[in-house]
Amino acid sequence: SNGTTTSGLTFDVQPSASRRTPEEREALLGDPGFGNVFTDHMVTIRYTEGKGWHDARLEPYGPLSLDPATKALHYAQEIFEGLKAYRHPDGTAAAFRPEANAERMNRSARRMAMPELPEDLFVRSIELLLEHDGDWIPTQKDASLYLRPYMIATEVGLGVNGPSSTYLFGLIASPSGPYFSGGVRPVTVWLSEDYTRAAPGGTGEAKFAGNYAASFLAQRQAVEQGCDQCVWLDAVEHRWVEEMGGMNLFFVFGSGEDARILTPGLTGTLLPGITRDSLLKLAPELGLPAEEGRISTDEWRQGALSGEITEVFACGTAAVITPVGHVKSAHGEFTVGDGEPGPVTMRLREELVALQYGKRPDTHGWIRTFPK
């Protein structure tokens, strides 16, 4: 079907003539890893200043043809999103909070002087892609179909006199296996004091491609230090904990009945994660007080050493919830708790995953189901 959206756009549906066979698909779904395998189709929508969004299309997955002077390639005017579709027990395909991703993409768009995409076009793109490629949602435990919406500046020209006047919105999908194939494993993190991810007034709260390009050197440094991930600190004092490479952080204070969780507040320099937001709402319902605040690297170390901080975990769409077991920096290292996944971390993980996979009633209106 190619129903008209409320934005008045009709998708031109061009099914692929070279879809992979069910056998080929099943072979790829066996062990897809993350971000390496793509489905048979993709969505593209064009934007032209003065005309708005036009030429909405579902077409065979394939290369884009870009002039070498395309602005996105030179001036990085490009943003993206990340969310997942899950197969529910009743067979429907379900996306987790796609409206929140649509809204965040539009906040990123405003920051990068790009046009906003109406929410109904964003959601309809997902629906259309799932209609054609829904069989690519893996069914093994903890697997899902990762959805990657993106927007790039397509104007041709090297003038840096202003934003592009034309854009391409696209949606691709990539089956992803369980993030932790051998069960949940705590990560070791590196506190990055040499590099800064985001400064006040900068682009840190946008899901802007350049933020990620600028992070790779620090991530490489973290790996050289024997760590899995780098933790970003504030740009001014190099003291306040902000977030990780692709995940937000939570600190668990106390234990049992007295446990509470804290996550760095949205200061404008960190990404407002949708998993973070979901946990801030979910935790209190489980009897776990949750707050946004500030925590310094000294408070982290002292809290871990005194036992006041019992667990630390990171959260994001890709890995859901990841325990942080060990922390290293230029000044030394320490372990959080006993370095193993803690009960609060695992409880929150279990609740969130159960919701996403349709095994809990959706009391928040977070689940958007699409007919099979």
Interacting residue ranges for ligand PMP, rule: CB under 6 A: 82, 243, 246-248, 271, 273-276, 316-317
Smallest separation, CB 318 to ligand PMP (Å):
7
Written as one string, the DSSP assignment of 41-94 is EEEEEEEETTTEEEEEEEEE--PPP--TTBHHHHH--EEE--EEEEE-TTS-EE
How far from the centroid of its chain's Cα atoms is residue 109's Cα? 16
Query: Which residue number, 318 or 346, has a Cβ lying nearer to ligand PMP?
Result: 318
Smallest separation, CB 317 to ligand PMP (Å):
3
Query: Which residue number, 315 or 344, has a Cβ lying nearer to ligand PMP?
Result: 315
Query: Which residue number, 279 or 344, has a Cβ lying nearer to ligand PMP?
Result: 279
SS3 for 333? strand
Smallest separation, CB 18 to ligand PMP (Å):
32
Query: Which residue number, 166 or 267, has a Cβ lying nearer to ligand PMP?
Result: 267
Smallest separation, CB 248 to ligand PMP (Å):
5
Closest-by-Cβ residue to ligand PMP is 273
| Among 174, 50, 46, 64, residue whose Cα is nearest residue 121 | 46
Query: Which residue number, 20 or 148, has a Cβ lying nearer to ligand PMP?
Result: 148
Smallest separation, CB 255 to ligand PMP (Å):
25
Smallest separation, CB 183 to ligand PMP (Å):
21
Query: Which residue number, 66 or 280, has a Cβ lying nearer to ligand PMP?
Result: 280
List, in sequence order, every beta strand (DSSP E) within the chain: 12-13, 41-48, 52-60, 78-80, 83-87, 93-96, 144-153, 166-176, 187-192, 229-233, 241-244, 248-253, 260-264, 290-293, 309-316, 320-329, 332-335, 367-370
b vs e for 58-77, b when ≥16 Cβ sit within 10 Å of the residue's Cβ? Answer: beebeeeeeeeebbbeebbb
